[in-house]
């Protein structure tokens, strides 16, 4: 099935090897920022919303510019388009959450909150373990915070952890990417990425369900 | 039957020696998945526009040469390309759409000793004349060539604009031939219209033992208009192997020196009189040897082609 793409799974994993080697040790910084973001949703403070939004915006902007434009574009003609989409999402997160301060990340013990927390922890901990089981060993593996799939799952999870209505305008690109990226991952036979479309569809459903029971006017 | 005795022919002897690597430089080929045997000069077909002859088997580069910056994979592709030229290959086809393929081809060409027979073919695949010129100029640098033998408009993208550029470049000698491409079944109506009305030299489209729509219109039109035909997706992107390779090759395939399924599929294509060249893609030396084996020996005649179609349809 990978014949529908312009590159083989071997070349795709080789790209991760080059990318991870080139940006090392930013992967550790990304993990630290991810842990901080999750912590802030559990212990929210005055600037927590802006900080979490800044972390998410930073992830998406980095992936858009560096991963897609600089690295992925060498093997995939569509990568620049993906890069623009990721940059748009990064700017939306920065504008809504950092500049306007309209995002209030706060864990609520409802189903959307628990599942959102689950998605975030999955992206950081379970996803790389599943990758290991599939034989995707460092540095030939997609890493949290600096590659699209785990970062998208993480973002969907954190958006479900917003205090009021889930901002669907910020959910749109991650859900769209979960379908695009999920299809590509299926074609490339990367089993851990099956979580991506699941997170996208489930995240969208939970967001709509959450918003249905939350008064209008309160987003984030 | 005693295989070493009076029945031993010169061909059988040479094939046996080739299988042991004893006859270098004879045009004999021995490859995996059923030895690929061939003898004599490589088969060539003329380009109608000029009479220049090119080998009937070329090489595509979709997926197979898109290996990015990985040096190990690049060097492995050098071996594949070396095998291609060693067996008499010439035409290499690529596109800016194929990721790093053009750059990797350029990398390989610098490391190959006998690439004199190169017939360089790539494509322009973007919108607007300005961006097209920029993209084609990039291709010169990526391949490391001063001129292209063939420049094609990929999938008819903005073909009106690019053909204007290509006509100019052809008159200036920057490209020797110009053409258009499409892939399986897409935009055949418009494709035929361009074939019928524009001063092009080459066309490229899909044709194989399963996908034979081109027999109805495009192949006859190419013959009528005097256009060289490059056939892409000769193995349906590998799907023909997935579907048929588990079946044994019919014994009668030996009547036209066909030693494996790759040669079966390729000989079907190049036995069509309007076809100039087929461009299978591979990342493996043994498969390259099989593919190039199809450029040697006899081809199936009309009755045999019908038998080949019936056979694959029966499997």
Residue pLDDT, tens place only, A51-95: 999 999 999 999 999 999 999 998 998 999 999 999 999 999 999
User: Looking at chain A, which residue has its C-alpha nearest residue B72?
Assistant: A14
Burial code of A9-27, b = ≥16 C-beta within 10 A, e = fewer? eebbbbbbbbbbeebeeeb
Higher local confidence (pLDDT), A114 or A10 = A114
Q: Is B207 in contact with B184 (CB distance < 8 Å)? A: no
> Strand pairing of B148-153 and B119-124?
parallel
Q: Is B83 in contact with B285 (CB distance < 8 Å)? A: yes
Written as six digits, the tokens of A115 are: 């599942």
Q: How many CB pairs under 8 A join A and B?
A: 48
User: Looking at chain B, which residue has its C-alpha nearest residue A75?
Assistant: B99
Asked if the model's pLDDT at residue B19 lies above 60, the reply is no
Kindly determine whether residue B66 and residue A3, on different chains, have CB atoms separated by under 8 Å.
Answer: no
Q: What's CA B13's distance to the chain center, in Å?
A: 29
User: Looking at chain A, which residue has its C-alpha nearest residue B236?
Assistant: A3
Kindly determine whether residue A3 and residue B63, on different chains, have CB atoms separated by under 8 Å.
Answer: yes
Distances, alpha carbon B41 to alpha carbons B25, B27, B56, B88, B136, in Å = 11, 7, 12, 8, 34
Mean pLDDT, residues B26-51 taken together: 66
Chain A residues near any Cβ of chain B (below 8 Å): 3-8, 10-11, 14-15, 17-18, 74-77
Q: What is the pLDDT of residue B39?
A: 61
Q: Name chain A contacts of B238, Cβ cutoff 8 Å.
A: 3
Kindly determine whether residue B100 and residue A14, on different chains, have CB atoms separated by under 8 Å.
Answer: no
Distances, alpha carbon A204 to alpha carbons A86, A112, A174, A183, in Å = 18, 10, 10, 17
For all residues of chain B together, what is the average pLDDT? 87
Nearest to B73 among A6, A14, A74 (CB): A14
Nearest to A76 among B73, B99, B237 (CB): B99
Distances, alpha carbon B89 to alpha carbons A83, A157, B54, B117, B155, in Å = 39, 54, 9, 7, 25
Give the closest-approach CA distance of A86 to chain B in angstroms. 20
Q: Name chain A contacts of B80, Cβ cutoff 8 Å.
A: none
Q: Is B181 in contact with B232 (CB distance < 8 Å)? A: yes
Q: The tokens 């699209």 sit on which residue?
A: A148
Nearest to A18 among B69, B99, B237 (CB): B69
Q: The tokens 């595509």 sit on which residue?
A: B60
Q: What's CA B241's distance to the chain center, in Å?
A: 17
Nearest to A6 among B99, B238, B239 (CB): B99
Beta bridge partners of B44: B55
Mean pLDDT, residues B94-107 taken together: 94
Query: Highest mean pLDDT: which of A91-100, A183-192, B2-11, B34-43?
Result: A91-100
Give the closest-approach CA distance of A78 to chain B in angstroms. 9
Q: Name chain B contacts of A5, Cβ cutoff 8 Å.
A: 63
* Of the listed ranges A4-18, A51-65, B70-84, B88-102, the one predicted with least confidence: A4-18
Q: Is A124 in contact with A144 (CB distance < 8 Å)? A: yes
pLDDT-based confidence at residue A50 (cuts at 50, 70, 90): very high
Q: Residue B189: count other Cβ atoms within 10 Å of its Cβ.
A: 7
CA distance B99 to B148: 19
pLDDT-based confidence at residue B26 (cuts at 50, 70, 90): very low
Give the closest-approach CA distance of A28 to chain B in angstroms. 25
Q: Name chain B contacts of A3, Cβ cutoff 8 Å.
A: 63, 237-239
């Amino acid at each position: 099935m990978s014949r529908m793409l312009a590159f083989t799974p071997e070349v795709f994993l080789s790209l991760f090897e080059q990318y991870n080697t080139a940006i090392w040790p930013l992967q550790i910084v990304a993990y630290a920022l991810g842990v901080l973001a999750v912590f802030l949703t559990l212990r929210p403070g005055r600037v927590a919303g802006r900080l979490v939004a800044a972390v998410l915006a930073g992830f998406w902007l980095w992936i858009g510019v560096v991963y897609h434009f600089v690295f992925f574009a060498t093997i995939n003609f569509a990568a620049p388009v993906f890069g623009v989409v990721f940059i748009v999402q990064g700017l939306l997160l920065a504008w809504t959450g950092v500049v306007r301060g309209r995002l209030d990340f706060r864990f609520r013990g409802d189903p959307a909150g628990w599942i959102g927390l689950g998605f975030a922890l999955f992206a950081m901990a379970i996803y790389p373990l599943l990758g290991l089981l599939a034989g995707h060993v460092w540095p030939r593996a997609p890493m949290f915070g600096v590659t699209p799939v785990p970062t998208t799952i993480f973002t969907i999870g954190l958006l479900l952890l917003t205090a009021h209505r889930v901002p669907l305008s910020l959910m749109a690109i991650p859900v769209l990417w979960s379908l695009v990226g999920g299809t590509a991952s299926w074609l490339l036979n990367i089993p851990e990425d099956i979580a991506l479309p699941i997170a996208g569809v489930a995240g969208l459903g939970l967001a709509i369900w959450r918003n249905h029971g939350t008064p209008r006017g309160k987003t984030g | 039957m005693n295989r070493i005795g009076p029945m031993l022919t010169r061909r059988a002897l040479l094939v046996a020696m080739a299988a042991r690597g004893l006859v270098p430089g004879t045009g004999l080929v021995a490859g995996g998945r059923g030895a690929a045997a061939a003898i004599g000069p490589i088969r060539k077909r003329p380009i109608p526009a000029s009479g220049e002859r090119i080998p009937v088997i070329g090489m595509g580069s979709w997926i197979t040469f898109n290996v990015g910056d990985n040096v190990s994979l690049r060097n492995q592709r050098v071996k594949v390309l070396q095998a291609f030229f060693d067996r008499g290959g010439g035409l290499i086809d690529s596109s800016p759409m194929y990721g790093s393929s053009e750059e990797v081809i350029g990398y390989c060409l610098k490391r190959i000793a006998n690439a004199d027979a190169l017939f360089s073919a790539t494509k322009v695949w973007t919108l607007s004349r300005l961006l097209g010129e920029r993209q084609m100029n990039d291709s010169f640098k990526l391949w490391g060539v001063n001129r292209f033998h063939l420049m094609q408009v990929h999938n008819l993208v903005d073909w009106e604009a690019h053909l204007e550029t290509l006509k100019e470049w052809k008159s200036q000698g920057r490209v020797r031939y110009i053409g258009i491409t499409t892939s399986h079944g897409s935009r055949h109506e418009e494709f035929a219209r361009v074939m019928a009305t524009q001063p092009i030299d080459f066309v490229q489209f899909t044709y194989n033992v399963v996908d034979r729509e081109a027999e109805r219109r495009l192949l006859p039109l190419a013959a009528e208009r005097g256009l060289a035909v490059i056939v892409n997706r000769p193995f349906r992107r590998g799907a023909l192997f997935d579907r048929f390779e588990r079946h044994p090759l019919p014994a009668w395939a030996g009547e036209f020196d066909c030693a494996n399924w790759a040669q079966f599929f390729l000989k079907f294509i190049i036995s069509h009189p309007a076809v100039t060249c087929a461009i299978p893609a591979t990342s493996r030396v043994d498969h390259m040897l099989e593919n190039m084996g199809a450029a040697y020996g006899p081809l199936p005649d009309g009755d045999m082609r019908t038998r080949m179609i019936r056979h694959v349809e029966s499997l």
